[in-house]
Chain A
Amino acid sequence: MYVELKNLNKRFGNYQAADGVSFSIEKGKLVGLLGPSGSGKTTILRMISGLEQPDSGDIFIDGVRVNDLPAAKRGVGFVFQNYALFRYMTVFDNIAFGLTVQKKDKAFIRARVTELIRLIGLEGLEKRRPHQLSGGQKQRVAFARALAPNPHLLLLDEPFAAIDAKVRKELRSWLRETIGKVGITSVFVTHDQEEAVEVADDIIITNNGRIEQIGSPVDIYRNPKTPFAAQFIGTSIRIPEYWKLHGYEKTPGFEHAVVRPEFVLVSKIEKEQYPVTSKRGVISGIFFRGNAMELNIDVNGLHLTSNQSLDEAAFAVGEEVSVLIYRLYIYNETEVRLVENSSIKSDGTFFI
């Protein structure tokens, strides 16, 4: 394991930012720390970098315990949320800063900075100051600056938070590609699950200073291990008293349930496929989401969401439709289970 955290604890006054955090990261992986704000993800990142000291616990990078090593000696590159570019220096001087501090010779610095500027595709902008750059360009410069001294580990704090939506998409795939090209082990922090799913090889979900689940995006999406993960990942909607729905029975010890849009099938009344298990609902809202339509459906006071591809039959607000919930996550304080709609199974007609 390349990076290993063992039982890290960190407290700021009354706020437990890290509570027994342990995980490890393989060499060459791009890992996303995903959690709501205040979940301690940035603190974890800052403790790895050495900008923050843990109250207890051990941090290993490449087999070496780095707790007592100053930040500058850990071989870590850090990209700050608001870039933190040196505003009184040019792009060139920003990227060169780490190498200048290391007293590398001029020719070497010039070659390395030129190489990085080519990597980030900002040739010709070397003389610009940070305030003359767009958000995306600043982000790229921050990235190049962190990479310049050849770190073994790259840490990125909310790398896309301050960038507008359109550029963000573009930058995400660029970053993923570039990190792959450079081949550096990287950890990034995000509160945006879409971003984590799209960019990370592995996701670590944090909540209240604790690690909730670690796994590949698909794995976490399919098998959330904790109630928090089940609710946090995907567009999850809580269902009170799930046993009152058709096809579900109360499982002892499981009080709560969530449903995701993809578990909800909406069809026109005349095309209804499972009349026994389906319920009637009314479309309460239709939203265009770019690549899909989001339908909000009201089923006897229960508000559900479903996604509909653009090609499918068009619905209208107020229309009565047939609604089928074919799966649910049920959970209690500690456990999550995926349950299928039992009546479909017994019919033997349902398949995905």
Chain B
Amino acid sequence: MKRNGVQLILILLGAAFVFVMLILPLITVMTYALRQGWETFAEAITDDYAVKALKLTGFSTVITLAVNTAFGVFASWAIAKFAFRGKQVLTTLIDIPFSISPIIAGLIFILVFGRIGWAYPLTESLGVKVVFAVPGIVLATIFVTFPFISRELIPLMQAQGNEEEEAAALMGAKGLKIYRRITLPHIKWALLYGVILCTARAMGEFGAVSVVSGHLRGKTNTLPLHVEILFNEYKLTAAFAVSSILVVTAIIIMILRNIVEYKLKKEEG
């Protein structure tokens, strides 16, 4: 097909936009990170606080994934395959984290578990510190990434209907067997896709975590918070070096995402 002038201009405009908005920042991060050579870079990312921040981010991501996967699978099963009172309310509730600003989400936890919060005496008596501690970070991350997995699964499961499950139930199969043999094979790629998106979001979460963390270096500092601290201290190279860890994981996650998406499409088509 022969392209005319307008088409060419639109394509160039699109390409330029993508370059400026997406590719240029990535290149900038990487070049800044390596500006003072490999040694400075290695030093910045093997720094004690950076490693601790990475570990904390990893830890909270793993817990978040476990909780949200379990919840997402159960919630989507209940919503897509059963009729019950309050289903609409539950579906709306699940979406709340999508519509609430992460800062507000963080504040909610401060107001509930902080010194002035109503749950403070309870957690205090149990000897658990929530706010300005790891549990708060995990809670905030779970909250923010709450809908990711169930949102992936519900439409798919609704589209597939109940007949296969009903057929299996009629032949005497019990819930767990039906789930394992009939439902799970349908949703496995969508589930994995949801898990990947959830991972990306959990690792990068800044706002809500920033509010509940208290920024205690080596204790309650996640990787994104660590980047902010370095940046504020004008340690630009170190800040970008640590950022590059997040960027590289993000790129890996996106590649995984594309593979899964391809599999998902192949399955559907």
Q: Does B133 contact A (CB under 8 A)?
A: no
Instruction: Check if A86 sits within 8 Å of B170, measured CB to CB.
Output: no
Instruction: Check if B170 sits within 8 Å of A78, measured CB to CB.
Output: yes
Interface flags for A66-103 (1: CB within 8 Å of B; 0: not) read 00000111001110111011111100000001100110
Give the chain A neighbours of B168 by CB distance below 8 A. Answer: 86, 97, 101
Give the contacting residue for B167; candidates A50, A73, A80, A88; CB below 8 A: A80
**Interface residues on chain B, number (Cβ under 8 Å):** 15
Instruction: Check if A71 sits within 8 Å of B170, measured CB to CB.
Output: yes
Q: Does A206 contact B (CB under 8 A)?
A: no
Interface flags for B144-170 (1: CB within 8 Å of A; 0: not) read 000000000000000000011011111
Interface residues on A, range: 20 to 34
Give the chain B neighbours of A98 by CB distance below 8 A. Answer: 171-172
Interface flags for A306-331 (1: CB within 8 Å of B; 0: not) read 00000000000000000000000000
CA distance A73 to B170 in the complex (A): 8
Q: Does A149 contact B (CB under 8 A)?
A: yes
Give the chain A neighbours of B171 by CB distance below 8 A. Answer: 72, 97-98, 101, 149
Give the contacting residue for B169; candidates A71, A77, A81; CB below 8 A: A71
Instruction: Check if A101 sits within 8 Å of B177, measured CB to CB.
Output: yes
CA distance A88 to B186 in the complex (A): 8
Instruction: Check if A84 sits within 8 Å of B185, measured CB to CB.
Output: no
Name the interface residues of B179-234: CB closer than 8 Å to any CB of A.
181-182, 185-186
Q: Does A49 contact B (CB under 8 A)?
A: yes
CA distance A29 to B169 in the complex (A): 26
Chain B: minimal CB distance from A320 (Å): 55
Interface flags for B124-145 (1: CB within 8 Å of A; 0: not) read 0000000000000000000000
Residue in A72, A76, A81, A82 whose Cβ sees the most chain B Cβ within 10 Å: A72
Give the chain B neighbours of A97 by CB distance below 8 A. Answer: 168, 171, 173
Residue in A49, A84, A85, A145 whose Cβ sees the most chain B Cβ within 10 Å: A84
A86-B168, A86-B181, A88-B185 known; A101-B173 Cβ under 8 A = yes
Instruction: Check if A72 sits within 8 Å of B170, measured CB to CB.
Output: yes
Instruction: Check if B163 sits within 8 Å of A86, measured CB to CB.
Output: no
Give the contacting residue for A51; candidates B164, B170, B177, B185; CB below 8 A: B170
Chain A: minimal CB distance from B240 (Å): 47
CA distance A127 to B116 in the complex (A): 65
Give the chain A neighbours of B172 by CB distance below 8 A. Answer: 72-73, 98, 101-102, 149
CA distance A80 to B167 in the complex (A): 8
CA distance A50 to B166 in the complex (A): 10
Instruction: Check if B173 sits within 8 Å of A78, measured CB to CB.
Output: no
CA distance A72 to B163 in the complex (A): 15
Closest to B167 in A: A84
CA distance A101 to B185 in the complex (A): 18
CA distance A77 to B172 in the complex (A): 11
CA distance A73 to B173 in the complex (A): 11
Give the chain B neighbours of A84 by CB distance below 8 A. Answer: 163-164, 166-167
Name the interface residues of A278-296: CB closer than 8 Å to any CB of B.
none
Chain A: minimal CB distance from B167 (Å): 5
CA distance A89 to B164 in the complex (A): 12
CA distance A88 to B90 in the complex (A): 30
Show 23 A/B contacts (Cβ-Cβ < 8 Å), sorted by A: A50-B170, A51-B166, A72-B169, A76-B170, A77-B170, A78-B166, A78-B170, A80-B166, A82-B163, A84-B167, A86-B164, A86-B181, A87-B186, A88-B182, A88-B185, A89-B181, A97-B171, A101-B168, A101-B171, A101-B172, A102-B172, A145-B167, A149-B171
Closest 8 CB pairs of A and B: A84-B163, A98-B171, A72-B172, A88-B185, A84-B167, A101-B172, A101-B173, A80-B163
* 14 further contact pairs, Cβ within 8 A, besides A72-B169, A72-B170, A88-B182: A49-B170, A51-B170, A71-B169, A76-B170, A78-B166, A80-B163, A82-B163, A84-B166, A87-B186, A97-B171, A101-B171, A101-B172, A102-B172, A149-B171
